[in-house]
Structures are given as structure tokens and as C-alpha cells.
Structure 1
Amino acid sequence: MAKKTHGKNLGKKGLMAALARHVVLEKSQSQLAKKEALQKEHSAQKQQSMKGGGKVNKNKKKQQLNLQKSGYIPFKKGDRVLLVGEGDFSFAKSIIAQQYIEPENLIATSYDSYDELVAKYPNVEDTVKSLIESGVKVIHEVDALNMVASLKLTPTPKSKKAKVELFADHANLDYIMFNFPHTGRGMKDVDRNIRDHQQLVLGYFKSCNQVFDIVNNQIKDDFAGYSASDDSTNVGKVILSLFDGEPYSSWGVKILGRSEGFRVDRSAKFDWPSYPEYHHRRTNSTRDTTKPAAERDARIYIFEKFDKKEADEKERRRRNDEDSDDN
């Protein structure tokens, strides 16, 4: 059995080694930031208490408890969402059953063909049928790394100006969501496992960029056609759900997202009770993971698009200013 590296990934060259080093640095910075935040919060609470603000703090704590009780849903009912890597479609089934989203606003996809799904997952026929009857658009054989081709979003030469639509009303796509991405290959080599999943997540971000560029950044003209638009408000967001701990921490998803122009907008604990119909399965079998998923801590990350060149330039100027102050 290979010895776990816990994110150090020593002796590796190129991108993966750089990613691993960034992961270690990110963990260290995160711990310092949390410590500082806790100290600030403690100081603020103490001052508020001295000013007679105990009631305000009490109400704030009550709101936080209510939020934790209700669970975190990463999208609103009216948002348009594309789910990839759905497996047995139990997550799609759950968010429809709980009325977190309107059925016509959801597109649920699987990597497997319909026949492969039927052979792999019990009751998937009933689940898919129920989703379709409710108004959900279900598509099979969709590769999260090549969604443009899988979803047939590439315009034909005769219709280059035509808007490539995912929804019947030409609506923009708000979110693309991938729950617990996995290659489906079981590997004992920890470093190779991390490397393969970094490539998977990186490919997902790249594919999301391509989909948003095609589906969202187009507007209707006066001739009932569609032309390109640079309206940044049309840019959608990327959702990624991951288990806590290793090897997932070593994937460095924040760094991978940033390399494709995405940064974390917000994140929250994945609240299993909020999705009672959802059953996380192994990618390559009907069995659950070694430990039942609902007993494992996980998080939902929402990434938003940002101007990477501008952010890098600001960081460069900040470092230059720090160097000047030191001198």
C-alpha cells in the first residue's frame, strides 16, 4: 500500500508539483486566516456585549442555527441548472421532490448511456421516467470534460449566428453542478490518484467555460437571430461538491479553478438531510462507498468568474508595493 503524502507530493515536477505546493501553502494561509477571524469575532462580541448588544448577538446566533437547520441549497428555485455526472439521478430526484428548483429549469445528465445505467443502478428506470414526466430534461452520454460536443452545442456552419439553446425559452444557464467527481478508477497509488483527479476537475472547469461562452454570451437581434455579446452578467457559476479530508484536499480545487478564471464565491457544508432521496454511489458499481456517504463531511463550493489578468496585475502591484516598503 502506497504511503499517503497528505498533500506534499514531494519529488514531482511540473504543474502537479506546483499545485501540491500551493495546496500546502493554501492550508497554512487558511489556518492563519481562521485564527485571525476567530480573534476578531471574539473581540467584536466582547465589545458588543459591553455596549449592551447581547440581544443582537442572541438574534444573530438564532439566525445561524436556523440556517444550519434548514441546510444550504446552492441555487434558487428560479435558477437554470445543468447537472453532470448524475449516476443514478437520485440527486436530481431529490431537488425536484424537495421543490428546490422548477423541473423545467433543470437539465440532468449522466456519463453512462441509458442501457449502462439500467444495468448498473436498480430502479433508475423509474427515476428517469419520473423526472421526464415532471418536466426535467434528461440527457445521457454527457462527458463533463467535453460538454459542448456531448450536448451538441456547436453551431452548424449555416447557423453560426443562431443561439445554441439548452432551454426552450432561450434562457441563460445559471449553474453547472458536479457532485463528488470521480474518475471511476480505483488506484492504490495516492500520487497518481491525486494527479488523475486534478486533471478531471481542471477539465471540468475548462468545459464549463466553453458551455457558458456558447450558451450565455449571446443576445437576440432584430432579425430573430442571435449575435455574440460581452455582457458579463450572462456568466454562470460552477458548483463542485467534495468530501472533506484527503485525498480530496490535495486536489487543490481552488487553484485549479483559478487557473481557468474561477474563484470561490462561497462555500458551505453539504447538508445530507436536505437531500433525503440522494444516494451517493461508487462510480463503477452499485455499492456505497467504504463509509456511508451521509456519515462523511463534505462541502459545496460555488465558483464565480473573475478577470484573472486584472487580479494577477493587482497582486503584482501589491507585492511591488510591499517590496518598496521593505526597502
Structure 2
Amino acid sequence: MAKRRKLQHQKGPQRPTARPQQKDQGPSKKPLQPAKKQHRQQHHDEPVIPFSPSDRILLVGEADLSFAASIIQHHGCTNVTATVLERDHAELVEKYPAVDTNIAVVNRRPDADAPPASPGHGAGSDAGHSEEEEPAQDYSDEDSQARRHKPVAITNKLIYNVDATKFPSSIARTPHDRIIFNFPHVGGKSTDVNRQVRYNQELLVAFFQRALASPAAPLAAGGSIVVTLFESEPYTLWNIRDLGRHAGLQLERSFRFQAAAYPGYHHARTFGIVRNKKGEEGSGWKGEDRPARSYVFMRKEEVEDQTKNKKKRKRGGDDSSSDEDED
């Protein structure tokens, strides 16, 4: 692709040229695209979901919890730890008045008499507390059907007063497959752009380092950290790739964040709902409508191992492709 762009640049802008007249041969037929190219374009349009329902997911800086509620309700996630910076429920509701609806999703548990939940339906947990695992049940060979319909263990929970740079021991001692920090921001600490950039860079570096801290690292072996940012200044000035590298991580891939893939999700500002002088909620801009990108980081050595395995598969004849960016 890079070579093709270079050639086009050398030729200069294309000027319209007159075409020789031809007899009317009916509707023109566009040349068919190769099947592989069509597959790539179709794949590119599909949203990338960087987790699976069974993953142990840690959500950082969840604000109004609309993202947490969406991945539980619509993506069937059953092991989500959603954390907020706010000290307690009262402070959270003051900033995000509609948050109780999302809290209810996180706290929800299947009814004892209800049929077992399918993997496509999520539920939640008690706020700030982790429910104990169900004791193993002794099934006989004749109970194979009952075993197949065993309810999925739900361990979703909400924890207040969690600083992204200082995870409490209750979080740090549990390894997570995915740690997701959507649209991190320190808030309005300064009106100076350079200072804001520096403050946010410091936030992310401290967050990355804490996720990798030993001996109790919240990031499990083979796990990944996903950070989502807007694709515009000043966010592009943060140089997130370098920040991850500075903390001992390497960018494994990046992809376009599509808010529509998470029904019910909407972007919430760090300082809460924007109100006018009359105290009315302002319309403002909607963050979910702005172009954004998600960056997936892994431990450097684990990315190197993945790269080696990909090269081995290619030599073995595996011609699989992906439109997701890699670095």
C-alpha cells in the first residue's frame, strides 16, 4: 500500500480526460474486487471487542458506569470489577444523577428460581463486595443435562474510591485478563495545554506501572491493558505509545473505538454533568460521536513471543489477515 501511495504522489494530481465515445452496451459493470480484499473491507467495518465474556475484566475510572452496564447486559460479561474514583454512592449520584440504573445492572443477581442464564445475558454483583464462589456440586453421569444447564457464576462488582494509580490490595491481589481505562483524564487542573498534557501523561504512566507492579500485579500473565482516547488534540499530544513503552509495555495493536458496539453507553465527563447557569443540564457535545481509538498494550516479552508465533504460522502456510493496526 505504501508503494502504491508513493507512485500516485509522483504522478501528481489526476486531471479529468475525455473518454472515447462508445456504443450503449447497457448498465456498466464495475470490476469485481478480489474476494480477499472484500473480506478485509467487511472485517474492517466490524467493531473490535477486546475481551470475551469469560474474561476477568477490571474497569478503571468508570464514571457513570454505562460502559460496565453495557458489557454486562449486551456482551454477557460475568466477571467485571467496575471501579470509580468517587468516594461513595452519594458523590457518584451527585455527579451522574442517572447512575443508579447502571449500578442496578452491576449489582444484579439471577433469581434463585429463574432458569440458568445463557452466556449472552449478563448480570451484576454486590457493590464493593465479591461474592464467594459456588461450591462444586457432585453430578452423576446421569445428570449430564443438568450439568450443561448449570448457572454461570456471576462475580460482577462495583468498588468506590479507587485511584487509577493506587489500586487497593483487594484489586491488586486478583489477576485480571483485561484492564480497561476508557478516556482517562485528570480533569480541569489547569487551563494551560502543556500542563494538562503533562498531568495526563503522568496519570497514564503511573497507571501502567501500577498495573505491572510486583509481586501483586493486577494484570494477569498474557493479559492486556486497553486505553481509549479521542483522535484529536490534545489527546494525540500525549504520545500514548511512548508512555506504555516507558512503563515496560508494548503496543500490541490499536483499533477504532465504536461506541455503537456498546448499547446504552455514552461518554461521561470527569467532572460530571455539565449544567448551565440555571442549573439545567446542558446539551453540549457527545463524546460517543467523536472519533476515538483504543490501544491494546501487553508486556513487551509477551508481544515478542506473539510476533515469533505469527512468523512461524506464516511459514507454515497460514495466510490469515487482519485490518487491525499493529505496532
Structure 1 length-normalised TM: 0.63
Counterpart of 2:299 (choices 293, 305, 317) is 305
Deviation of the 1:295 alpha carbon: 2.4
Aligned to 2:70: 94
User: Residues 192-248 of structure 1, C-alpha deviation per residue, up to 9 Å, x if partnerless?
Assistant: 11111110111110111127844567xxxxxxxxxxxxxxxx242111000002111
Q: Distance in 1 between matches of 2:93 and 2:86?
A: 10
Q: 1:251 to 1:68 in 2, by over 3 A?
A: same
Aligned to 2:160: 140
For 1:174, give the aligned amino acid.
D
1:265-284 counterparts in 2 under 5 A?
265-284=252-271
Counterpart of 2:94 (choices 119, 130, 150) is 119
Matched, 1:258 2:245: yes
**Do the aligned partners of 2:57 and 2:178 also contact (CA within 8 Å) in 1?**
yes
Deviation of the 1:252 alpha carbon: 1.0
Matched, 1:285 2:288: no
Aligned to 2:55: 79
1:44-55 counterparts in 2 under 5 A?
none
**Do the aligned partners of 2:58 and 2:179 also contact (CA within 8 Å) in 1?**
yes
**Do the aligned partners of 1:206 and 1:260 also contact (CA within 8 Å) in 2?**
yes
Q: 1:87 to 1:36 in 2, by over 3 A?
A: farther
Matched, 1:175 2:150: no
Deviation of the 1:97 alpha carbon: 2.1
**Do the aligned partners of 2:73 and 2:105 also contact (CA within 8 Å) in 1?**
no
For 1:112, give the aligned amino acid.
E
Structure possessing the higher radius of gyration over alpha carbons: 2
Q: Distance in 1 between matches of 2:295 and 2:243?
A: 13
Structure 2 length-normalised TM: 0.63
Deviation of the 1:132 alpha carbon: 1.2
Deviation of the 1:37 alpha carbon: 8.3
Identity of aligned residues (%): 34
**Do the aligned partners of 1:183 and 1:196 also contact (CA within 8 Å) in 2?**
yes
Secondary structure, in 3 states, of the residue corresponding to 2:181? strand
Aligned to 1:188: 191
**Do the aligned partners of 2:212 and 2:219 also contact (CA within 8 Å) in 1?**
no
Deviation of the 1:110 alpha carbon: 0.6
Q: Distance in 1 between matches of 2:190 and 2:212?
A: 29
**Do the aligned partners of 1:261 and 1:307 also contact (CA within 8 Å) in 2?**
no
Secondary structure, in 3 states, of the residue corresponding to 1:266? strand
User: Residues 50-92 of structure 1, C-alpha deviation per residue, up to 9 Å, x if partnerless?
Assistant: xxxx97x532333334334431111122221100000010001
Q: Distance in 2 between matches of 1:65 and 1:212?
A: 44
**Do the aligned partners of 1:239 and 1:300 also contact (CA within 8 Å) in 2?**
yes
Q: Distance in 2 between matches of 1:242 and 1:216?
A: 20
Q: Distance in 2 between matches of 1:272 and 1:199?
A: 27
Secondary structure, in 3 states, of the residue corresponding to 1:62? helix
Aligned to 1:45: none
Gaps of 5+ in 1: 1-33, 41-53, 154-163, 167-171, 218-233, 311-327
For 1:299, give the aligned amino acid.
R
Q: Distance in 2 between matches of 1:201 and 1:38?
A: 35
Count matched residues.
Answer: 228
Q: Distance in 2 between matches of 1:119 and 1:37?
A: 55
Hey, which of these two has a bigger chunk of helix by percent?
1
**Do the aligned partners of 1:148 and 1:211 also contact (CA within 8 Å) in 2?**
no
**Do the aligned partners of 1:109 and 1:138 also contact (CA within 8 Å) in 2?**
yes
Let me know the Cα RMSD of the aligned residues. Answer: 2.8
Deviation of the 1:298 alpha carbon: 0.4
Aligned to 1:130: 105
Q: Distance in 2 between matches of 1:285 and 1:80?
A: 28
Deviation of the 1:272 alpha carbon: 1.6
Q: After the TM superposition, which of the residue ranges 59-68 and 258-267 deviates more from structure 2?
A: 59-68
